[in-house]
Chains A and B, each alone.
Chain A
Amino acid sequence: MGQVHIDEVSLAFETRRAGRVVALEQLSLAVPEKQFAVIVGPSGCGKSSLLDLVAGLKETTAGQCRVDGKVVTSPGADRGMVFQSYSLFPWLTVRKNVEFGLSLNKVPPKERSERADHYIGSVGLLGFENAYPSQLSGGMKQRVAIARALANDPEVLLMDEPFGALDSQTRSLMQELLLGIWEKEQKTVLFVTHDIDEALFLGDVVYVMSARPGRIIDTIDVGLERPRHYDIITTPQFIEFKRRIMSSLHAEVEKAMNLN
C-alpha cells in the first residue's frame, strides 16, 4: 500500500501579471510503497504544487496522479501532509491537534487518546500534551504536525519543506527524528526540499527538478546504508552525489533568475 504514480502531469494557471504560467510540464514519476522519495529543486520550480496535486488540493491541467492505482480527485486521509508553516490549530492543545484527524473520522475516544499518546511519544513531546501551539518552539510545532499526520495512519506522507523554517541545528535533529520514525512506520514518503544535504540524507531516491516549467532532470538512487547517521554527509559517495545535484541545479537556478 502507498504506491504513488504521477503520470505526465502538467499544471498551468493564469496570472494577471504574467499571463499563462506553466508550472509543471509532462512530469512523471513513480514511488513504490515504503520508499522515501525526495524532490529537490530551485524555488518556484513547482515542487510544492506537485505535492498539492498528489494531495488533491490542486487539480492537474493534464495527466493524473494515482495512489494505489486510484486516481486522485480530491484530498483524503490516505495522504497526510506536513506543511512548512506548521499549520497547527492554535485553539487546540498538542493532544487535540494530534487527535484532530481521528476525531473527524469518529474514532472512539479511547483509541484516539492511545494513538495520540503513542505518536506524541515517538516525536518526543510527552509532557507537552496540554500545551497550546503558541507555547512551543518551531521544532516542537513541526513535531506536533508530524505526529498529527501519522496518528491518522495515512498510506502516503507528503512533506512540503517541513524543516525549511527551522534553524540548522534543529533541522538536523528533526531529520534524524523523522528517519527514526520512518524506519519504524515504513510509510511511503514524498518529501520536497531545496536543501541538497537534506535530500541526500533522507532519501532512498532523489529527483532533481528543473526551473519552471518543472520537469525531472535527474534521478539519483542514493542507496546509502540505513540507519543513517549525520556523519554520512562527509563520505565521498555523499559528496559525489551532492556535486552532481549542485551542478544540475546551478544551471537551473541561473535559468530561473534570468527569467525574472
Chain B
Amino acid sequence: MAAGTLDRLFRPNKPIPRQIELWTGITVAASVFGLWCLFTYGGIVSGDFLPAPGEVWAAFVSTLSDGTLLKHTRVSLYEIYLGFVLSSIIAVPLGIFMGGFRIVAAAIEPVVNFMRYLPVTALIPLLILWVGIGLEQKIAVIFLGTFFQQIVLIADVSGRVHDDLYNVSYTLGASRWQVVTRVLLPATMPGVMDTLRVTMGWAWTFLVVAELVAASSGLGYMILQAMRGLHPATIFVGIFVIGFLGLVTDLAFKWAKNVLLPWTNIR
C-alpha cells in the first residue's frame, strides 16, 4: 500500500525529498520575515518597541556610511579572534594530551572541572578590577569562557581513539612518539575541528557579554549605546551583524574541515 506524501514526510530519521527540504526552510524564514512586516507596517506594535525592516535597513546604511558599524565590527572581530586563537592554541594540545594520557588527565582534570563550572560572567567584575575594561578584559573573558570548555571537549575526543589503532601501530614498529604524532594527532583532528566550530559560537556570546558590561567600542557596546539612545533599529543592526558573522565563521569552519580533512566527508 502506498503511503501518502504527508505520511512519508513524518517518519523519524528518514530522508525527505531535497526540494521539500529546501522549500520548507525558505517558507519558514519568509514567514518570520512576513510576520515582522505585518506587526510593524500593520501598526500592531509600536516602532519604539519593534522597528520595521525599512528602519533597520536605514540604520544599517547610516551606521555603515558614517563608519561606526565597521569600526565596532573590526574591534569585536579583533577581540574575538585574538581571544579564541589564544585559547585554542593552548587548549588543543593540552586537551589532546589530557585525553591521550591518564597522567595528564589526573594532573589537570580537577582544576579544569572546577573552572568549567564557574560561569565566566561571574568573573567579569574581578577581571575589570584586574585588567580594566580594555582589550585585555575582552580577551580574558573569551579565554576563560572557551578554554576550559575546549579542553574538556577535546580530551573527550582524544580519549575515544580506539586502542586497536595504537596497538596496530606498535606492531608495525611505531615508537611511542610516533604513536602520538602519527595516530593520536590525526585521529583527533575531525573532533578538534568540530569543537573549535562549536566553541567559536560560545566565544561570540562571551564577547558580547563582556562588551555589554564594560567597553568603549565593539558591537556589544554599539548595541548598548543604541539602547540608551532609544534607537532599537541600531540594536537590530548589531544583532544581525553578529548573526551574520557567526554564520560566516561557521561556514568557514565547515569548509576548512572539508579541505583539510577530506576523508571525513566521503562515502
> Interface on A for B, CB 8 Å cutoff?
52, 55-57, 74-77, 79-81, 83, 85, 87, 89-92, 100-101, 104-105, 132, 134-135, 145, 148-149, 152, 154, 158
Contacts and interface: CB of A to CB of B under 8 A. Distances in A.
A229 to B, nearest CB: 31
Interface string B162-190: 10110111111111001000110011010
A89 B189 CA distance: 13
A77 B171 CA distance: 5
B173 A77 contact: yes
A80 B164 contact: no
B117 interface: no
Contacts of A105: 173
Interface stretch (B3-11, B83-91, B96-104, B259-267): B259-267
Contacts of A154: 171
Contacts of A92: 263
Contact of B168 (A74, A87, A90, A134): A87
Secondary structure of the B side of the interface?
helix
A104 B182 contact: yes
Contacts of A149: 171-172
Contacts of B170: 55-57, 74-75
A89 B165 contact: yes
A91 B164 contact: no
Interface of B: 162, 164-165, 167-175, 178, 182-183, 186-187, 189, 261, 263, 266-267
A187 to B, nearest CB: 14
B151 to A, nearest CB: 23
Contacts of B186: 89, 91
B266 A81 contact: no
Nearest to B173: A77
A87 B182 contact: no
A75 B171 contact: yes
Nearest to A131: B266
Contacts of A77: 171-173
* Closest 7 A/B residue pairs (Cβ): A77-B173, A101-B172, A75-B170, A87-B164, A81-B171, A132-B263, A87-B168
